[in-house]
Structure 1
Amino acid sequence: MIKIRGQARFIIKALENELGFTIFDRTNKKVFLTQAGEQFCHGLKQVNEALLFLIEQCQNFANNYQKQIKISTITDSFTQTAFSN
């Protein structure tokens, strides 16, 4: 468990360094979101919802597009006679 916490702390610190702001306020043994962290998490939720919506739209488009592709053959005896010459 300590190894996992250490790895998580390292990853979070690296993310904070890359982002340029502190996500978590670490006091004693408690961890709280900073104001920037709260805003970041709120924004991530919106991005996630938008991404899920986009994926659903694209899946629906792909399914509808596939359903619209139809290959048929002419089996009517009139059209077979008319086009055989």
Structure 2
Amino acid sequence: MYNLVLTGWMYLTPIVYPETLIPEAYRYWFFHLNPMYYYVKIFRAPIFEGVLPDGDILIVATLISVTTLIIGWLFFSKRSDEFAYHL
């Protein structure tokens, strides 16, 4: 199931195709709600466009990263005693 979800997520993120391939009306749902879109955009900007990524994209990616870190940290702190039993 994990591999299926990751494969689907990869195709919903513009990794192997340009983002202009999706019509403008659907770009919000396909890209802006996908957290990986921002990281791919940050990675592509200096390589393909030769410019630094926009500040708003960097801010969104940073907020997503910090939020994920905090949620993961809280989850791990709460369940750290149980991890030893599952190893």
Q: Indicate the TM-score class for this superposition, using the shorter chain for normalisation.
A: 0.3 to 0.5
Q: Which has the larger radius of gyration?
A: 1
With the length of structure 1 as denominator, give the TM-score of the two structures: 0.40
User: Whose RCO is larger (CA < 8 A, sep 6+)?
Assistant: 2
Larger % of helix: which? 2
Larger % of strand: which? 1
With the length of structure 2 as denominator, give the TM-score of the two structures: 0.40
